[in-house]
Amino acid sequence: MSEIKWNEFLIPYSQAVDELKIKFRNLRKEFLEKNEHSPIEFVTGRVKTVDSIKEKMRRRFISEDLLKQDMQDIAGIRIQCQFVEDIYEVAKLLHIREDMQVIEERDYIANSKPSGYRSYHVVIEYPIQTSKGQINILAEIQIRTLAMNFWSTIEHSLNYKYKGDFPEEINERLKRAAEASFMLDEEMSKIREEIQDAQQYFTDRKRDLNSPTEQNKK
**If we measure between CA atoms, which residue out of 125, 101, 114, 112 comes closest to residue 164?**
114
Active-site residue, from 3, 140, 172, 214 = 140
Q: Report how far residue 61's alpha carbon sits from residue 203's, in angstroms, rounded to the nearest whole number.
A: 51
**If we measure between CA atoms, which residue out of 67, 76, 62 comes closest to residue 143?**
76
CA–CA–CA angle 45, 71, 136 (5° rounding) = 75
Active site residue 140: yes
Q: Report how far residue 143's alpha carbon sits from residue 86's, in angstroms, rounded to the nearest whole number.
A: 9
- Taking phi over 0 as left and psi of -120 to 50 as alpha, with beta for the rest, 205 belongs to alpha
**Alpha-carbon separation of residue 135 from 102, 132, 168 (angstroms):** 16, 8, 46
**Alpha-carbon separation of residue 147 from 67, 116, 143 (angstroms):** 32, 12, 12
Q: Report how far residue 137's alpha carbon sits from residue 143's, in angstroms, rounded to the nearest whole number.
A: 19
* Distance separating the N- and C-terminal Cα atoms of the chain: 66
Q: Annotated active-site positions, please? A: 140
